[in-house]
Structure 1
Amino acid sequence: MCNSSAMQGVLELDMNNYDLSPEDLQHVLSCKNFTSLEILELKGKSIDFDTFRNLLPKASFLSSLNVFTLPSIKGGSCQEQVDLFVEIADTHSPLFFRKAGNIMYANKMNSKGFDLYLKAAELGHSLSQYSIGREFEFRKDYNEAFKWFSKASQQGIVKSQCKLGSFYAKGKGTEKNVRKAFEWTIKAAKKGHVRAQYNLSILFRVEPGYEDKEMKIFWLEKAAQQDHPRAINDLGVSLTCGDEFEDLERALELFKRAESLGVKVASVNKLNLLEEMEDRYDSSDE
């Protein structure tokens, strides 16, 4: 397989479900034709550190790789693994600064882990840019968080696009900009990001000049299909308002479903709806 020139166009290789022998794994790492590979999944496989250290720097995919799920590495100290990844990062790809950072974080050396993530982010690694944004958000440094979410969003990181839309909607780290809030939230929602779908329903409900119940329900439906608990409850509420969208029977089922997913207010909504339905039934008998 690795001798085929067709491998030069492969962008993603997921070997997680294949029972690779150590020798097969070595063939993957030493293949010279994976020159366009962006995603390599080797989770669950194992390889000894000395072999890994010998093969990885020679791999053909180092410069193109953006996501690399590592095999289990047997032997070699944490520092040896970090040194290997930093060496590769310096010569090939910022992804490996992130890999070195992962090791630091796993060993509770968070400050060093952050520094390595930041190096990867500064060199343009999109997932690291998002991670740095999250760290600054946790620190409540919203200006820095906004900067890094913007960079990651422009590189297509969907969860970052959702965050960026939220920052624009709330005016966090930037001036509030409803148009840009919609722009970035829609980008993420259309790609199936469930939180973005729910956030978009809120924008269509609360933003003056943008209120649109039909669109609000549309995006609540999308999020509810992915079992977003609050979306399920809010969809139920939207179906109890006495307008053309009313569907009390479905609303009741939605409240029950949201309740089972831990939404406390859904229990109250369910009881209130049952009382209303009972009152309507009694009135119809008079």
Structure 2
Amino acid sequence: MLKNETDPKNTFLLAQTRAQSEKAEDLCRLANCYDFGIGTRKNIKHAFELYREAANKGNPIAQYNLSLLYQDGKVIPKNLKQAFEWMKKSAKKDAEAMSDLGYMYVQGVGTKCDLKKAVAWYKKAAKKKVARASYNLGLMAYSGEGMKQDDKAAIRYFKNAEKLGHKDSILELARIYSDKASKEQNKRLSKLYIKKAISLSFKEAKMF
């Protein structure tokens, strides 16, 4: 929603008025209203057109949402190459896009799989406190996929993600400390994180 606006209908009307300026930010706001049905009926096709106009003017949020629509393919024909290109453009400024671009490199979405590039983009996103980027770096460090296997680095990444509210990181910390429970300190930490994981309804933590 627009700043200081709580009434959806008023938000939409204000977005319509501001979009007449044809500024990228204003076009993106109106697209958002159509995308999520804020103060008006959902109209993904119209949202797509507005996002595309704003994206072409350099708005990173519009570029990000355009990529998501190309990936989704439910209303707009799926085009993973276009999805990748728009995410790449958005990632120049947007932290969430940096993380998503890393994922696209891992999975080979619209591009070739490149784990080194994935790690690089995850690190950029993690520096900007994107929780899932830190989490994914933790997974890669622990498995040795895309980077040197490093338990200490994995723990550091998972703890960073945990601080940012990423609950799955707690399960992974429980797993790591349980695997290394031969040391007394790790036994204590293992019990701590298993308890946390169980409290978050991770049933598999009971198996550690």
Range of TM-score over shorter length: 0.7 to 0.9
User: What amino acid sits opposite 2:26 in the alignment?
Assistant: F
Question: 1:104 deviation in Å?
Answer: 2.3
Distance 1:94 1:194, change over 3 A: same
Equivalent residue, structure 1, for 2:21 = 88
Of 35, 59, 77, which residue of structure 2 is paired with 1:125?
A: 59
The answer to which structure has the higher strand fraction is 1
Aligned ranges 1:99-178 → 2 under 5 Å: 99-105=29-35, 106=37, 107-139=41-73, 141-154=79-92, 156-178=93-115
C-alpha separation in 1, matches of 2:147 and 2:191: 31
Equivalent residue, structure 2, for 1:231 = 169
Equivalent residue, structure 2, for 1:186 = 123
Q: Do the aligned partners of 1:239 and 1:246 also contact (CA within 8 Å) in 2?
A: no
Question: 1:128 deviation in Å?
Answer: 0.7
C-alpha separation in 2, matches of 1:137 and 1:117: 14
Q: Do the aligned partners of 1:129 and 1:152 also contact (CA within 8 Å) in 2?
A: yes
Distance 1:181 1:233, change over 3 A: same
C-alpha separation in 2, matches of 1:249 and 1:235: 12
Aligned ranges 1:270-285 → 2 under 5 Å: none
Question: 1:208 deviation in Å?
Answer: 5.7
User: What amino acid sits opposite 1:131 in the alignment?
Assistant: N
Equivalent residue, structure 2, for 1:62 = none
Distance 1:101 1:260, change over 3 A: same
Equivalent residue, structure 2, for 1:241 = 179
Counterpart secondary structure, 1:174:
coil
Distance 1:167 1:116, change over 3 A: same
User: What amino acid sits opposite 1:141 in the alignment?
Assistant: N
Question: 1:115 deviation in Å?
Answer: 1.3
Equivalent residue, structure 2, for 1:218 = 156
Distance 1:260 1:138, change over 3 A: farther
Counterpart secondary structure, 1:247:
helix
Question: Which has more radius of gyration?
Answer: 1
TM-score w.r.t. the length of structure 1 is: 0.62
**Percent identical residues:** 25
Question: 1:216 deviation in Å?
Answer: 0.8
5+ residue gaps in structure 2?
A: none
Cα displacement string for residues 34-79 of structure 1 (whole angstroms, at most 9, x for unaligned residues): xxxxxx83344x8xxxxxxxxxxxxxxxxxxxxxxxx9738xxx6x
C-alpha separation in 2, matches of 1:245 and 1:112: 60
User: What amino acid sits opposite 2:43 in the alignment?
Assistant: M
Distance 1:152 1:112, change over 3 A: same
The answer to which structure has the higher helix fraction is 2
Question: 1:195 deviation in Å?
Answer: 0.4
Aligned ranges 1:4-153 → 2 under 5 Å: 41-44=3-6, 73=10, 83-89=16-22, 93-105=23-35, 106=37, 107-139=41-73, 141-153=79-91
Q: Do the aligned partners of 2:116 and 2:146 also contact (CA within 8 Å) in 1?
A: no
Question: 1:202 deviation in Å?
Answer: 1.3
C-alpha separation in 2, matches of 1:205 and 1:170: 18
TM-score w.r.t. the length of structure 2 is: 0.83
Higher relative contact order (CA 8 A, sep 6+): 2
C-alpha separation in 2, matches of 1:245 and 1:204: 23
User: What amino acid sits opposite 1:169 in the alignment?
Assistant: V
Cα displacement string for residues 76-124 of structure 1 (whole angstroms, at most 9, x for unaligned residues): xx6x6565233211xxx11111122233231122211221111111211
5+ residue gaps in structure 1?
A: 1-39, 47-70, 270-286
Q: Do the aligned partners of 1:229 and 1:263 also contact (CA within 8 Å) in 2?
A: no
Q: How many residues align?
A: 197
